[in-house]
Structure 1
Amino acid sequence: MLDDKGNFIIIEAILAVILLLFAFTIFNLAIFTIDSDYSSELKDSKNAQDIMEFLSGKINFTDKTFLGEISTILQEGKNSKESISEVSEICRDKFSSLNIKNYRFSETNVLDDEVLASSGDYSKSGDVSVAMRTYGDYSYTLSVW
């Protein structure tokens, strides 16, 4: 009879420990739940930076970059209306190929905040992600919303 009581005490102790571990696990899950909205806001806030990094990165392992290409066109055209128009067309095609719906791309140094390409209504934009890059004398600003 003494052995039977000892077995029951061990089984009860094991069940009590399992119940405590289960309760502790549920308590931790309730406290440390990840807020999914936070991760999507973080992704959106990096949108303009990511696009601008892509535009300033080298294409096909050559020394040319998109920002370098449009800066060269503007510089060789001496910032004429024709060169600005050509760059605007190239920029619209580029942003269209990247499937960006609401953006404004402008040059803020040499051309006095000339908008080179845009899509969407900037005045109705809520959260705007902004990135800037400089290539030579030209400073480009990309706003995405």
Structure 2
Amino acid sequence: MKDEKGSLYIIEAILAITILLIAILVVNTVISIPSPDYSYEAHDSKSAQDMMEILSGKINFTDRTFLGEISTILKEHKNSKKSIREVSDICQNKFDSFKFTNYKFCENNKLKGKVLAYNGNYDNANKFTVATRTYGDYSYTLYVW
């Protein structure tokens, strides 16, 4: 019997493609590539850097930054004790809002390492991360452990 319309060849081609796809799917499911185990230490090591990026980033899509605001307060009041206390309160409230439990935030240049915000026991820290940002004449360092 002669197949003049070619329907037999079409059916054979569809069957061959179906068998080929099934074979590929079986091979794909048999070969399992193990997913890599990601280390969470890399995430922890970035926490100080991430926090400093937040502090140096724009506030509410304006040109103001948190580091800019505290630097302006210190500069306008010529680093007086009152301005340092005000900035310390602002910093403490900011870090408390982020719910950080172990940190130390200080200014290194103008205030000679004065601690502006602190929480936790630094003496018992066995592993910590450090980030530094500069705004104008002020250089801020954040320690997180």
Normalising by the smaller structure, the TM-score range is 0.7 to 0.9
Aligned to 1:81: 81
TM score, norm. by length of structure 2: 0.77
Over residues 81-139 of structure 1, what are the superposed CA-to-partner deviations in whole Å (9 max), with x where a residue is unaligned? Answer: 10000000000000000111100000001100000000001111121111000000000
Aligned to 1:123: 123
Equivalent positions of 1:21-32 (< 5 A) are 25=31, 28-29=33-34
- Structure 1: unaligned runs, 5 residues or longer: 1-16
Alpha-carbon distance between aligned partners in 1 of 2:105 and 2:31, rounded to the nearest angstrom: 50
Q: After the TM superposition, which segments of 4 or more aligned residues of structure 1 sit over 6 Å from their partners?
A: none
Query: Aligned-pair RMSD on alpha carbons?
Result: 2.1
Aligned to 2:69: 69
Aligned to 1:59: 59
TM score, norm. by length of structure 1: 0.77
Aligned to 2:111: 111
Structure 1 residue 34 displacement after superposition: 1.8
Task: Work out whether 1:137 is the aligned partner of 2:143.
Answer: no
Query: How many residues align structurally?
Result: 123
Alpha-carbon distance between aligned partners in 2 of 1:66 and 1:126, rounded to the nearest angstrom: 29
Task: Work out whether 1:95 is the aligned partner of 2:92.
Answer: no
Structure 1 residue 35 displacement after superposition: 2.3
Counterpart of 1:35, as a letter, is D
Alpha-carbon distance between aligned partners in 2 of 1:41 and 1:90, rounded to the nearest angstrom: 30
Over residues 50-86 of structure 1, what are the superposed CA-to-partner deviations in whole Å (9 max), with x where a residue is unaligned? Answer: 1100000010111110000000000011111100000
Counterpart of 2:31, as a letter, is T
Identity %: 58
Alpha-carbon distance between aligned partners in 1 of 2:65 and 2:78, rounded to the nearest angstrom: 20
Larger Rg: 1 or 2?
2
